């Protein structure tokens, strides 16, 4: 069933029509979660948020179902419901395979800049320990409600930012659910909702304050320009545990080079994760590149690992 052909047929128009009514919204939900990626992207551009509240069911790559509330008065909850299928399917695959790789390990999944918790659904669904770190209280409330709805118990939410030292900083919060930053320059591109002062802690101080033992760590970082400072505050973790990292790095140039060099100096291999719309199923090893001045980036997410067995297990190279 090719998405490009489906999109022009009455099938899609009928499917979108089902979303107008609460009684039939579940049918739309069921079909949407099982459509191929290109059809999903087409539909997302055509639909509007329903005028009623309801429970959406997300189908994960591991076959598990996650329930999430769609609030008719909060567009963030609607965007979240749709996002697992359209936002980054390659990350879905990597997260699922990484969880499988560490299935018999005592793994802690750390989600730095967790937002609404999309990137931690896989480990939560399999009962892994998850640590959310997010300075936006509104998003943490929504995330906590979803975790309780799905009876997740092994998770902790830290309502703070992460940086190179314990501090208190102003954070610039966008009207969408996807953007907030400690970097005032980056925030100039936001549709600014508010500015708040929030606590900032190092990842080292957060982790070593847990008083729990773990075999392995997986760390996702999405902090809108603050990535290097997060890593500088994680030196002890990196030295002791050599965690696997997936880091979103939007800003290239010196910022990007500094992060890459820091991680390579710590013994990490670096892999680029292409954007899903490029239809590339492989991660790209960029460890050996000495300069990125003439490099054409294919995405903003990067995998850092010292574990060759994990790379072989992913089978994406």
What are 231-252's pLDDT values in tens digits?
999 999 999 999 999 999 988 8
Q: What is the pLDDT of residue 22?
A: 97
Determine the pLDDT at residue 4.
Answer: 41
Asked if the model's pLDDT at residue 91 lies above 90, the reply is yes
Are residues 97 and 227 part of one domain? yes
CATH number at residue 141: 3.40.50.150
Confidence (pTM): 0.91
Whether 266 and 222 map to the same domain: the answer is yes
Same domain (yes/no): 179, 279: yes
213 plus 273 within the same structural domain: yes
Domain identity same for 28 and 140: no
Do 79 and 93 lie in a common domain? Answer: no
Which residue bears the tokens 């980036």? Answer: 297
145 touches 76 (CB < 8 A): no
Shared domain check, 191 and 301: yes
Whether residue 61 contacts residue 37, with contact meaning beta carbons closer than 8 Å, is answered with no
The model's pLDDT over 273-305, given as tens digits with 9 standing for 90+, comes to 998 655 556 789 999 998 898 899 999 999 999
Same domain (yes/no): 163, 128: yes
| Last residue in a domain, options 58, 86, 114 | 86
* 316 band by pLDDT with thresholds 50, 70 and 90: low
Query: Tens digit of pLDDT for each residue in 149-190?
Result: 999 999 999 999 999 999 998 888 776 656 777 777 766 666
Please measure the distance between the N-terminal and C-terminal CA atoms of the chain and give it in whole angstroms.
Answer: 27
User: 212 and 98 in one domain?
Assistant: yes
**Count of beta carbons in the 10 Å neighbourhood of residue 294:** 6
Query: Which of 65, 86, 107 lies at the terminal end of a domain, its last residue?
Result: 86
- DSSP characters for the chain? --HHHHTTSHHHHHHHHHTTSHHHHHHHHHHHTTS-HHHHHHHHTT----SS-EEEEEE-TTS-EEEEEE-TT-HHHHHHHHHHHHS-HHHHHHHHHHHHHTTTS-EEEEEET-TTSGGGHHHHHTT-EEEEE-S-HHHHHHHHHHHHHTT--SEEEE-SEE-SSSEEEEEEEESSSS-EES-HHHHTTS-EEEEEEEEEE-HHHHHHTS----SEEEEEE--TT-HHHHHHTTHHHHHHH--EEEEE----HHHHHHHHHHHHHTT-EEEEE--GGGT--S-EE-TT-S--TT-----SEEEEES-HHHHHHHT--
Which of these three, 86, 102, 135, is where a domain ends?
86
- Whether residue 34 is found in the same domain as residue 19: yes
Number of domains in the chain: 2
Provide the pLDDT for residue 280.
Answer: 57
Average confidence score pLDDT of the chain: 90
Q: Are 297 and 246 in a shared domain?
A: yes
Strands 107-112 and 216-221: parallel
Q: 152 and 74, same structural domain?
A: no
Q: Show the domain range for 308.
A: 89-314
């Amino acid at each position: 069933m090719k998405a490009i052909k489906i999109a022009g047929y009455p099938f899609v128009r009928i499917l979108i029509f089902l979303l107008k009514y609460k009684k039939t919204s579940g049918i739309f939900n069921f079909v949407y979660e099982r459509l191929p990626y290109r059809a999903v992207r087409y539909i997302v551009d055509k639909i509007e948020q329903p005028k009623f509240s309801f429970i959406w069911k997300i189908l994960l790559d591991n076959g598990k179902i996650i329930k999430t509330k769609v609030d008719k008065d909060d567009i963030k909850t609607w965007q979240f419901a749709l996002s697992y299928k359209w936002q980054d399917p390659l990350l879905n695959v990597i997260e699922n395979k990484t969880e499988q790789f560490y299935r018999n390990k005592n793994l802690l999944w750390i989600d730095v800049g967790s937002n609404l918790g999309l990137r931690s659904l896989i480990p939560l669904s399999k009962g892994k320990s998850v640590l959310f770190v997010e300075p936006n209280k509104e998003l943490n409330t929504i995330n906590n409600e979803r975790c309780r709805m799905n009876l997740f118990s092994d998770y902790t939410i830290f309502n703070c930012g992460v940086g190179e030292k314990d501090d208190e900083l102003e954070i610039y919060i966008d009207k969408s659910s996807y953007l907030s930053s400690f970097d005032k320059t980056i925030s100039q591109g936001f549709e600014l909702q508010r500015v708040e002062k929030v606590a900032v802690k190092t990842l080292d101080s957060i982790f070593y304050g847990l008083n729990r033992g773990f075999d392995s760590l997986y760390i996702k970082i999405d902090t809108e320009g603050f990535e290097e400072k997060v890593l500088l505050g994680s030196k002890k973790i990196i030295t002791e545990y050599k965690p696997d990292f997936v880091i979103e790095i939007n800003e290239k140039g010196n910022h990007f080079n500094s992060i890459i060099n820091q991680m390579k100096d710590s013994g990490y291999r670096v892999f680029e994760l292409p954007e899903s719309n490029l239809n590339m199923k492989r991660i790209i090893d960029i460890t050996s590149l000495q300069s990125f001045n003439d490099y054409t980036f294919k995405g903003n997410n990067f995998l850092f690992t010292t574990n060759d067995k994990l790379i072989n297990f992913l089978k994406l190279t």
